[in-house]
Each structure stands twice: as structure tokens, then as C-alpha cells.
Amino acid sequence: MKRTELFTKTRKNAPADEVALNAQLLIRAGFIHKEMAGVYAYLPLGLRVIENIKQIVREEMDAIGGQELAMTTLQPKDIWEKTDRWDDAKVDNWFKTKLANGTELGVGLTHEEPVVDVLRDYVSSYKDLPLSVYQIGSKFRNELRAKSGLLRGREFLMKDMYSFSRTQDEHEKLYEQAVEAYHKIYQRLGLGDITYRTYADGGIFTERFSDEFQTLSEVGEDTIFVDEAKKIAINKEIMTDENIEKLGLDKNTLVEKRGVEVGNTFHLESKYTDALDVYFADEGDNRQSIIGGCYGIGISRLMGVIAEHFADDKGLVWPDNIAPSRVYLVQIGDNVDQAQTIYDALNEKGITVLWDDRNERPGVKFADAELIGLPHRIVVSDKLDGQVEYQSRTSSEHELLTIEALLAKLST
Amino acid sequence: MKRTELFTKTRKNAPADEVALNAQLLIRAGFIHKEMAGVYAYLPLGLRVIENIKQIVREEMDAIGGQELAMTTLQPKDIWEKTDRWDDAKVDNWFKTKLANGTELGVGLTHEEPVVDVLRDYVSSYKDLPLSVYQIGSKFRNELRAKSGLLRGREFLMKDMYSFSRTQDEHEKLYEQAVEAYHKIYQRLGLGDITYRTYADGGIFTERFSDEFQTLSEVGEDTIFVDEAKKIAINKEIMTDENIEKLGLDKNTLVEKRGVEVGNTFHLESKYTDALDVYFADEGDNRQSIIGGCYGIGISRLMGVIAEHFADDKGLVWPDNIAPSRVYLVQIGDNVDQAQTIYDALNEKGITVLWDDRNERPGVKFADAELIGLPHRIVVSDKLDGQVEYQSRTSSEHELLTIEALLAKLST
């Protein structure tokens, strides 16, 4: 893509009311637009980052047998009354709306109930289980405060998977498979080393702990205690002596840190399926409860975490597999032909490029390259004898390369 | 994909309250789930159809320079008050909701206002124009009645593009480019021959007509008059003698038909940009109004139209480029190895397959193949001497083919 064909621009300042670093940077670089607190639109560069994160998550969910579907935002209240999650006194962050005839509707807060309601049509026998379904879409939470940019949205993108098993053993296997897939996802997103499986409160339906995936961050809302050797953590909320012992942890090796919850996995027992009257018949034709799990990953929150974590004082720094394009091509002077040749050669190899073909001073282009944060910067200029100047966004060193050497470097 | 790994099943009957043929068939075949009237979830097979339609639309929008973004569902009321489209007395099909502090919000009805509000940050000079942006996402319309399945949704998927030009001439060029792209899209979706550019009311902002794209259908809500020779039509709503003359049509050659509106394109003049105070400075630094156009295509409605249009008395019939998979592989008997060989060979060529590996009678599998409606059916059986039986979904003729001949046939 050429800069002259991209309608967004960079700017010096984010809106005064935007206090979160992730949103400040993403707004300044033209990736997102603030609609209101906690509600952001994705502009072309931002949407590409979102799609790249979604694709990584999708691949790992498919790899463990997840079947993708898309539930609806508008929700009928009857299924939520059955699980006692409709009343605002019970769940205090619904957005609600009404049909023209006055019937109350919910605006997609989460999707356990409607997913179980779909199962009703398809699960009756032990032969129909186990199964896992997932979706990637918008969730709506009526948060009182939303000042953390993409880290806490009122409207945000989430991947939510739901598993349904016949036995506790079967459930445990699917659950641990999902945890394993989560580790792979954070690894691929470049957050593997600073993201901890963290024991946390399991919610009101189970005695068991849930697992949160906490990425270490100074701006995180959660306090966790990390066991570095075991690569595991415990949320402060459940850190009692009893729980520490139950989890086989040692108080003396735990280090306090702040974290952002970038995913969670819950044991649902049979809470939702029983409440919605969805069971299966076992081999002896006896009615049995279905054992559920649910598995969330905040897609837009991850974009915020990645933006904030890798950023330096010059701007954003995207990992190669998430960047909206891999290469920022700075054209200095009139040498359109050479820039076009390189642009075509990179595109032909499937290497995505943002070509700064604007009639601007080199300094403006270099500053934009840094703020937008594509991983690889290439300079084309008459002064380089047909070679190009290459610089990684994470290094201050330049090198002169032939086009062949450049292609070889970026193809690895 | 294997049938044993797909959680959906076919069924004999749709819910009793579902009166639309498109939704009846799509529910029976396991493509969609009815959440409430006019609100459907997309199950795995249905989601693939949606993604295929989206991809075709996306390619054609990209080809005319559209830049993809994603606006938000939650909408602040101030931008809608500026265009006088907030009051329920003016726009009667909003879904509205409230923040915890009582502030009223809209639930994404359409997106002219927020898109123009984004432009405010990026357009100031004639150098920033023209530009076109588009998105593919959910729209919410509080319809009194919603009995037409996917043809009229309260929550539905739409592609909406918005163009912004400096001069009327520039606008006309972008507008006609979009119309041309629309024709290509309907052609690729197999609806080209029965979809007519149709003059219709332009709305309250312009004296000009808008263009609807009407697909002929007995269940269409619109009455149109078609000029077959000119491949053009006029909506009954504007069919006055004066308009017929203005459009250069002849009353005697117009034939009455029923149509489903599968797209529309509007001249917005400067209504939204002026109301939201977004202008550009021309070369002489004079403030000028921006001339807008908007261009909608109903993605989920198209799925319903295609389902309903091509269906026969046995079930759905998907065109090759929209089908959730291209091939339905019926395995008869125990010959897993032969089925696996063919499955692998097809997948390797990038030909998508739904392999019916269930332990079911052949009759059950054949009936499912017909209801689900993939374009190509292949039977693998011990009785076929290593060959496979091929049948197109649109033909009653079988032929025996070697695997090589099959691959050649499906690769064309």
C-alpha cells in the first residue's frame, strides 16, 4: 500500500481526554479512532493488526478442534433468566435495549447461554460429544470507568470458546489443551515470556480455581504473585495461606507484579447446561449432565497490550507477524522507479509494504516510520548507488543492501 | 472437514414460527440458528458462506480503492443530533441503550455520521481527497416485523462504503465505479442475470434518484418495472409519467416484477459533511463542501437470496465460489482408506471437502448431500472398482471417474 492511498495520517497529539498510552500511540499513528471512552473504531492500519491477531488465535483454536461460528449481539432475555444472569442486581454491566413492541433485549455481554441454547438442537446422545465451538466478535460491557484505552473496553473484540464434555476426565483434557493453545498464542504474539498462567477465583459456580493469563505490565489492573521457576502465578485476590498450600506454592518464592489479563479459562461444571435443560443420553440411555468450560481471549485488549509493551519513546514497535505491513519503504527524492521496483519485488514475495511515496521531507517520513512502528525500514535514495539502506525498528544500526540481499533477509 | 467433526446436523423440520423459505432451508441444513425473529446466528457451514460472500465483496471494493475499516456499534448521540437523525420521530428504527451514568447511546443503525466524524481528523485540504472507505459488519434496525428470514434482519451483516469527493465530476466517477463493482459482485455471486440497477427514491437530501440493485424474486418486498433490453428498472414508488420521461424509459416496454433489494447507492450531496462541519480547503485556500456517496450491500441478505433462489425441492444448491465446501464426499461402507486418499488429494489441490464419514445408511447421506447443497457430490464405494461416482448438485446424471479425472474436473 502507498501512503498517498491511505487516508490516515500521523499526528503529534492524541485527544486531551485520552490518558492511556496504548490509545494515545494508536490514535497518534492513525490506527484507531476514539468514538467515546472505551469504544474505538479500527482504521485501516489498526484493522490489519486486529486481523493478524485474530488469524493467529483462529489457527490455534482450529488446531484443537474448535469449530468457528458467530453468535448474535441481540439477546432474548428468557435464556438469561434461566441462569439468573439477566437481573441488573445480579449482573451489573449489561447494555440493554428494547424491541419496538417493548420487549427487553440484551446487547451481547457474553455468550454462554446462547451457545448452550444452540447445543439443544444438536446434542442429545453421547455420540454428539465432546465438542468445542468458538467465535471472534464484539462484546459489550457497561463499565462505569473506561480509561485504559484498548485494555478495558465498553465495546471490544473477544475470542470466546466453549467446550462440552461427557466426563470430568474428558473435560480436563480439553481444558488443558486449551491452556496449551493459549501458551502458543502468547508465544506467537511475542508475549510468551511475560505471560503467566495465573490461578484465580473460579466464579460462583465452582469450588475450583480458574486460570487467568496475565501479561506483566506496569499499567495492569491486577496484582499477581509470580513463581519464576515454575512459570506460574497466583492472583492476589485468592492469595490465602490455604490456597498457596493447596496449589503447592511457596510464599517465599512468590514475587509481586502487576499484570493485564489477556485471557482466561473457566470450569463451568454443568451450571449453564443444567439451567437451560440441555443433557445427553449415555450408552445406557441415562440422562447425564454435560460438563462445560469456557475460554476467553481479548483480541483488542491484546492489540493494546502489544502496542504498550513494545513501544519506545519514538512510537509503536510491531512484531513481524502482527504488523499491518512488514516494511516501511521511505522514498527520498524523485526516484519513483527504484522504489517501484523494490515495492513490486517485495509484494511478489508476499512481503507487505507501506511505501511512503508522499512529497514530504525525509525527516517527516523517518518520524512517521518510527511512530507507525513497522518492523523493517528501507530507504531508497539517489545517494545509495542502487542499494537500499535497511534498518530494523528495534535497532539503531543501518546497513546497505542490494535488493537481492534485502529479499533474502526478509524472506527468512 | 469430516461430518463426524462437525457438530451440526440436518433436520426434517424448521421451527414452526419460521415462515421464510430461505431460513427454513438454512436452519434445516444446519447453517444458521434462529435467536429471535430477524436475528440469526451463523453456524460453521453458514459462517463459511458468509465469509465467502464477504471476500468477493471485499475484493471488488479494494479494486476500486476502498480502504477497509471497522466502525463501532455503540454510537454517541451528539453526532446524530447534528444531522437530525437521533429523534425517534425522525428515525423510527433505532435500537437505543444507555451508559451506566444514564447517557443515551445508539446501537449501530448505519454509519454515515461516525465515518464523517473520522474524516474530521484526516481531511482538511484538497490533497486529502477523494477517498473511499468501507466496512463489513453488523447493523441493527428495530423493525416492527421480521418474517423474511435473512431477507429482513433486525441484526444483519452489511458492507457499507462511503466516498468523499471534491467536485461533482469526481463524485460521479466514483459513483459509477461503485455501480460497476456492484455488477461484478452480483455476477460473481451467480445473480448477475437477474439483478437490475433500479432507479429509486433518492431520500430527503437530494433531488436525484438513488440506485437500488434488485434481484428478481417472487418473495421480494419491492415492485419494480423492468426494461429487459436496457437491463434497467424503475421502482414502482417513483414510477410517475414525469420520472419515466426523465429517465428516458418507455412505459410500454416496462414489465412488472417483484424484487429483493440486494444493494443500493446514494448521492449524499454534502448533507452529512456540512452538518458535521467537515470541509476542505481548495487550491486557493477557500473552504469547500465535500460531496458524498454511500453504497450498501446486504451480506446476510445475499446469503438468503442465494439460498432461496437456487434451491430446489431437495434442498439448497450453492454456487461453487460461495459453497461452504465444494465437494460432498459420500463414503459407503468401510472403505476409509480410499475415502481418505481422495480427501487428501482434494485438500492438497485446495479443493474443500465435507467428508461424510458417519456410520449412517447411504440414503441418509444422499439426502444430507442434497439438503446441504454442495456443488459436487462424490461417492466412494467398494462396488466402483476404485473409481468414484461423480454427480453435480444441479444434474441428475452420474459419471464414473478415476481420481485423476475427478481432480482434473474440479480444478477447472
Q: Do A41 and B93 touch (CB under 8 A)?
A: no
pLDDT exceeds cutoff 90 at B132: yes
Choose the closest CB to B122 out of A7, A42, A101.
Answer: A7
In A, which residues are within 8 Å of B131 by CB distance?
7
pLDDT score recorded for residue B237: 94
Give the integer Cα–Cα distance in Å for B322 and A352. 27
Q: Is residue B322 part of a domain?
A: no
A262 and A348 inside one domain: no
- Chain B's closest residue to A72, CA to CA, is B41
CB A43 within 8 A of CB B69: yes
Residue (of B133, B148, B112, B123) closest to B258 by Cα position:
B148
In A, which residues are within 8 Å of B40 by CB distance?
72
Residue (of A37, A118, A138) closest to A76 by Cα position:
A118
Q: Is residue B213 part of a domain?
A: yes
Q: Is residue B202 part of a domain?
A: yes
In B, which residues are within 8 Å of A131 by CB distance?
7
Q: Is residue B79 part of a domain?
A: yes
Choose the closest CB to B74 out of A67, A100, A154.
Answer: A154
- pTM for the structure as a whole: 0.97
Residue (of B183, B175, B162, B181) closest to B209 by Cα position:
B175
- Angle, CA of A320, A325 and A326, to the nearest 5°: 40
In B, which residues are within 8 Å of A143 by CB distance?
100
In A, which residues are within 8 Å of B69 by CB distance?
41-44, 46-47
Q: What is the pLDDT of residues B80-121, one digit of tens each?
A: 999 999 999 999 999 999 999 999 999 999 999 999 999 999
Q: Do A47 and B68 touch (CB under 8 A)?
A: yes
Instruction: Tell me, yes or no, if B8 comes closer than 8 A to chain A by beta carbon.
Output: yes
Q: Do B71 and A41 touch (CB under 8 A)?
A: yes
Q: Do A72 and B41 touch (CB under 8 A)?
A: yes
pLDDT score recorded for residue A270: 97
pLDDT score recorded for residue B384: 86
For residue A406, the tally of other CB atoms under 10 A from its CB is 23
Q: Do B42 and A154 touch (CB under 8 A)?
A: no
Q: What is the pLDDT of residues A310-343, one digit of tens each?
A: 999 999 999 999 999 999 999 998 889 999 999 9
Q: How many angstroms separate the CA of residue B54 from the nearest CA in chain A?
A: 14
Q: Is residue B318 part of a domain?
A: no
CB B44 within 8 A of CB B8: yes
Q: Residue A178 belongs to a domain with what CATH number? A: 3.30.930.10
CB A37 within 8 A of CB A142: no
B299 and B397 inside one domain: no
In A, which residues are within 8 Å of B47 by CB distance?
68-70
- Chain A's closest residue to B143, CA to CA, is A100
In A, which residues are within 8 Å of B11 by CB distance?
121
Q: Do A97 and B76 touch (CB under 8 A)?
A: no
Q: Is residue B316 part of a domain?
A: no
Q: Do B100 and A93 touch (CB under 8 A)?
A: yes
- Chain B's closest residue to A47, CA to CA, is B69
Give the integer Cα–Cα distance in Å for A92 and B371. 44
In B, which residues are within 8 Å of A40 by CB distance?
72
- Burial code (b: 16+ CB inside 10 Å, e: under 16) for B85-108 equals bbeeeebeebbbbebeeeeebbbb
Q: Is residue B91 part of a domain?
A: yes
Q: What is the pLDDT of residues A74-86, one digit of tens each?
A: 999 999 999 999 9
In A, which residues are within 8 Å of B140 by CB distance?
73-74
A78 and A141 inside one domain: yes
Give the integer Cα–Cα distance in Å for A406 and A400. 9
Residue (of A130, A164, A119, A279) closest to B5 by Cα position:
A130
B277 and B356 inside one domain: no
B129 and B260 inside one domain: yes
Interface test with B, best of A99, A118, A165 (most B CBs within 10 A): A99
pLDDT score recorded for residue A383: 87
Domain that holds residue A44: 8-310
Q: Do B47 and A30 touch (CB under 8 A)?
A: no
Name the grid cell of A54: 485474530
Q: Fill in the amino acid letter for A84.
A: D
Give the integer Cα–Cα distance in Å for B97 and A93. 12
In A, which residues are within 8 Å of B153 by CB distance?
none
In B, which residues are within 8 Å of A71 by CB distance?
35, 41
Q: How many angstroms separate the CA of residue B245 from the nearest CA in chain A?
A: 40
In chain A, residues 329-368 whose CB comes closer than 8 Å to chain B = none
pLDDT score recorded for residue A83: 96
Among B310, B339, B369, the domain-final residue is B310
Among B310, B341, B368, the domain-final residue is B310
For residue A379, the tally of other CB atoms under 10 A from its CB is 24
SS3 state of residue B324? coil
For residue A37, the tally of other CB atoms under 10 A from its CB is 21
pLDDT score recorded for residue B205: 67
CB A80 within 8 A of CB A96: no
In B, which residues are within 8 Å of A70 by CB distance?
41-42, 47, 50
- Chain A's closest residue to B43, CA to CA, is A69
pLDDT exceeds cutoff 80 at B411: yes
pLDDT exceeds cutoff 90 at B202: no
B62 and B34 inside one domain: yes
| Cis status of the peptide bond prior to B130, with omega within 30 of 0 | yes
Give the integer Cα–Cα distance in Å for A111 and A314. 40
Q: Do A41 and B131 touch (CB under 8 A)?
A: no
Q: How many angstroms separate the CA of residue B77 from the nearest CA in chain A?
A: 11
Instruction: Give the residue ranges of chain A where pLDDT is below 70.
Output: 205
Q: How many angstroms separate the CA of residue A401 from the nearest CA in chain B?
A: 32
H or E element: which one contains B179? helix B168-188
pLDDT exceeds cutoff 90 at B260: yes
Choose the closest CB to B142 out of A99, A119, A123.
Answer: A99
Name the grid cell of A315: 512510537
In chain A, residues 59-118 whose CB comes closer than 8 Å to chain B = 65, 67-76, 93, 95-101, 105, 107, 114, 117-118
Q: Do B122 and A93 touch (CB under 8 A)?
A: no
In A, which residues are within 8 Å of B166 by CB distance?
none
A196 and A53 inside one domain: yes
SS3 state of residue B85? coil
Total domains present in chain B: 2
Instruction: Tell me, yes or no, if A44 comes closer than 8 A to chain B by beta carbon.
Output: yes
Phi, psi at B282, each rounded to 5°: -80, -175
Q: How many angstroms separate the CA of residue A77 from the nearest CA in chain B?
A: 11
Residue (of B316, B52, B295, B317) closest to B183 by Cα position:
B295
Q: Do B74 and A9 touch (CB under 8 A)?
A: no
In chain B, residues 155-214 whose CB comes closer than 8 Å to chain A = 155
Interface test with A, best of B2, B4, B31, B33 (most A CBs within 10 A): B33
Handedness of CA B45, B49, B51, B52 (dihedral sign): positive
Q: Is residue B134 part of a domain?
A: yes
Give the integer Cα–Cα distance in Å for A374 and A52. 14
Handedness of CA A181, A182, A186, A189 (dihedral sign): positive
pLDDT exceeds cutoff 80 at B26: yes
Q: So what's the ipTM on this one?
A: 0.96
pLDDT score recorded for residue B412: 73
Give the integer Cα–Cα distance in Å for A53 and A69. 18
B45 and B122 inside one domain: yes
Give the integer Cα–Cα distance in Å for B153 and A389. 54
In A, which residues are within 8 Å of B299 by CB distance?
none
Q: Residue B368 belongs to a domain with what CATH number? A: 3.40.50.800
In B, which residues are within 8 Å of A35 by CB distance?
71-72, 74-76, 114
B261 and B174 inside one domain: yes
B52 and B173 inside one domain: yes
Q: Fill in the amino acid letter for B376.
A: H
Name the grid cell of A276: 437451560
Q: Do B40 and A93 touch (CB under 8 A)?
A: no
pLDDT score recorded for residue A386: 85
For residue A380, the tally of other CB atoms under 10 A from its CB is 26
pLDDT score recorded for residue B382: 87
Among B282, B310, B338, the domain-final residue is B310
Q: Do B65 and A5 touch (CB under 8 A)?
A: yes
Name the grid cell of B399: 459419471
Phi, psi at A274, each rounded to 5°: -60, -45
CB B209 within 8 A of CB B200: yes
CB A349 within 8 A of CB A300: no
SS3 state of residue A248? coil
A205 and A104 inside one domain: yes
Q: Do B72 and A39 touch (CB under 8 A)?
A: yes
Choose the closest CB to B42 out of A9, A69, A98.
Answer: A69
B355 and B214 inside one domain: no
Q: What is the pLDDT of residues B286-327, one digit of tens each?
A: 999 999 999 999 999 999 999 999 999 999 999 999 999 999
